[in-house]
Amino acid sequence: MKLFETPAKVIDESRQGEAYYAADNQHNNINHFKKFYIESYGCQMNFSDSEIVASILSENRYGPTRDIEEAHLVLLNTCSIREKAEETIRKRLRTISGLKQGKPDMMIGILGCMAERLKKTLLEEEKLVDLVVGPDAYRDLPRLIAQGEDGEKGLNVLLSREETYADISPVRLESNGVTAFISIMRGCDNMCSFCVVPFTRGRERSRDPFTIVAEAEQLFSKGYREVTLLGQNVDSYFWQNEDQQIRYTFANLLEAVARIHPDLRIRFSTSHPKDMTDEVLETMARYENICNYIHLPVQSGSSRILSLMNRTYDRPWYMDRVEAIRRIVPDCAISSDIIAGFCTETDEDHADTLSMIRWADYSMSYMFMYSERPGTLAARKYADDIPEEVKKNRLNEIIALQNEISRKHNQRDIGKTFKVLIEGDSRKSDNEFKGRNTQNKMVVFPKANGYKPGDYVHVRVESTTSATLIGSIVH
Ligand code: 5AD
Ligand code: SF4
């Protein structure tokens, strides 16, 4: 596991390639004749999908292991979002293939977006891969594994319009027992011109809200105190029953989950500026347990570039949405995704991005250089014409500015007291707890008698490091 921490994250590297293991003993022993090992890359949705895969495998006599050497089945749940992500995974695959040479029984499977993007060419290019399974085909894993055991390669990359894995109760992997992800929808219909996701994850579909609420209730009864509702574009969540009498928008869903218990915190990601309604913001304002934090990717501050990106909003529209957040949920933190060096981007467009970062006052951003992805609208229509050096320089300017703003945010927090949900021991010391405040900032503080993970405490901030607030519990 790589650790990569700057005040403003370039990419959330801390979980890339994380090897997963079931959090409860129940899933680590019963009736499991064989072992699987899974590593996850990319977005939170992939990490959440790995928990669905673990559940399907656990029902089929495969138990999880953290030790790749003892695994019969090694799975990589992959990401295609940028070229670099795919390169990292290919490199990892080569190491794993080396392991397989002395172990004829070991099977290697590629899941997720790379499986979907490259389909059977992946079997041809990476000869030691046995299974290639796309994001909508995980129910077919037991059959494909059986096929693999018979020496045949297994491939299923069919995308679905309906699959939401609604009935599958995910096996919580590497969980702290306090926070969990819940997928509320799959796929994406937006067709941002730079993005491969609509091609790898298919059409957007929303999961039955009753199964979402039931999953959150079950987590709460097991001691979990925070759920993050996941979708590529949560604001376009929409579900109706067959006779269309029962309808749920995202605001309705948020409210239903918030009403489970005041001690269950709710977060969500990702919001799309074109769809984020005042109704969602008003629901956030009404419930203390819906966290005051919105990840609202701007991508670029230039209306011209936003139009080429097919984001379907312009700079004034985005600013109006930020103003709505400030008005309706006053102490809400906002974070962003930003792409440097998209096709035709001029110095002026770049300056618009910098001024947007300053104006929106993001607490944090994920920042990337544009990476052309084969098959996307941008790859087909526009030349990737910004030289690497220029992209790099612009990205560095963006990072420097975001770091400065994040530092100011942290400094403003000194002296304030926050309600913090304890998630576990801090990374550096087992004499300290870590947890997050409603604005999603990590807070570290000395342990005090009687408190344990899952408890809420009030912490007064005394100092900050680049990315963390440091304080102590106030009674
Ligand atoms: N190049 C660079 N960044 C990208 N993203 C998506 N596609 C690309 C690409 N081709 C970024 C966007 C998105 C985040 C998940 O990844 O900022 O919001
Ligand atoms: Fe990609 Fe745009 Fe969909 Fe996000 S909203 S997954 S950036 S197409």
Q: What is the pLDDT of residues 43-86, one digit of tens each?
A: 999 999 999 999 999 999 999 999 999 999 999 999 999 999 99
- Which pLDDT score, from 0 to 100, does residue 7 have? 33
- Which pLDDT score, from 0 to 100, does residue 235 have? 97
Per-residue pLDDT band at 30 (split at 50, 70, 90): low
Tokens encoding 97: 């293939």
C-alpha separations of 151 from 34, 106, 354, 472 in Å: 17, 11, 55, 58
Q: Name the amino acid, one letter, at 203.
A: R
Which atom of ligand 1 is the closest one to the Cα of 378? 10
The radius of gyration of the chain from alpha carbons, rounded to an integer in Å, stands at 22
> What's the rounded Cα separation, in Å, for the pair 236 and 219?
25
How much distance in Å is there from the Cα of 304 to the middle of ligand 2?
18
Q: Which helix (H) or strand (E) holds 457?
A: strand 456-464
Phi, psi of 88 (to 5 degrees): -55, -45
Buried-exposed string 111-133: b where 16+ CB fall within 10 A, e elsewhere: bbbbbbbbeeebbeebebbbbbb
pLDDT at position 330 over 70: yes
**Residue closest to 189 by CA, chosen among 156, 219, 232:** 232
Average per-residue pLDDT in the chain?
Answer: 93
Which three-class secondary structure string do you get for 228-284? EEECCCHHHCEEECCCCCCEEEHHHHHHHHHCCCCCCEEEEECCCCCCCCHHHHHHH
pLDDT in tens, 417-439: 999 999 999 999 999 999 999 99
pLDDT at position 12 over 70: no
250-258 vs 278-286: helix crossing angle, rounded to 10: 10
> What's the rounded Cα separation, in Å, for the pair 187 and 290?
24
pLDDT at position 120 over 80: yes
pLDDT at position 10 over 50: no
How much distance in Å is there from the Cα of 176 to the middle of ligand 1?
29
What is the pLDDT averaged over residues 109-136?
93
Ligand 2 pocket test: pick from 117, 190, 274 the residue with the most ligand atoms within 8 Å of its Cβ.
190
Tokens encoding 322: 């930020």
Instruction: Give 322-331's long-range contacts (Cβ < 8 A, gap of 24+).
Output: 322/296, 322/359, 322/360, 324/276, 324/278, 324/281, 325/281, 325/294, 325/296, 328/278, 328/281, 328/282, 328/284, 328/285, 329/281, 329/284, 329/285, 329/292, 329/294, 331/292, 331/438, 331/439
What is the pLDDT averaged over residues 183-195?
96
How much distance in Å is there from the Cα of 313 to the middle of ligand 2?
13
What is the pLDDT averaged over residues 138-151?
94
Closest residue (by CA) to atom 18 of ligand 1? Answer: 337
> What's the rounded Cα separation, in Å, for the pair 281 and 287?
10
Q: Which residues pair with 365 in a beta bridge?
A: 336
- Which pLDDT score, from 0 to 100, does residue 14 have? 61
> What's the rounded Cα separation, in Å, for the pair 184 and 165?
10
Per-residue pLDDT band at 336 (split at 50, 70, 90): very high
pLDDT at position 129 over 50: yes
Closest residue (by CA) to atom 5 of ligand 2? Answer: 190
Ligand 2 pocket (Cβ < 6 Å) reads 188, 190-192, 195, 197-198, 232-233, 272
What residue has token string 């999961």? Answer: 207
Strands 205-206 and 185-186: antiparallel
Write down the pTM of the prediction. Answer: 0.93
- Which pLDDT score, from 0 to 100, does residue 22 have? 66
pLDDT in tens, 85-107: 999 999 999 999 888 888 888 99
Q: Name the amino acid, one letter, at 374.
A: P
Q: Which residues contact 103 (CB under 8 A, 6 or more apart)?
A: none
Ligand 1 pocket, 341 CB below 6 A? no
- Ligand positioned closest to the Cα atom of 366: 1
Ligand 1 pocket, 342 CB below 6 A? no
Q: Which residues contact 98 (CB under 8 A, 6 or more apart)?
A: none
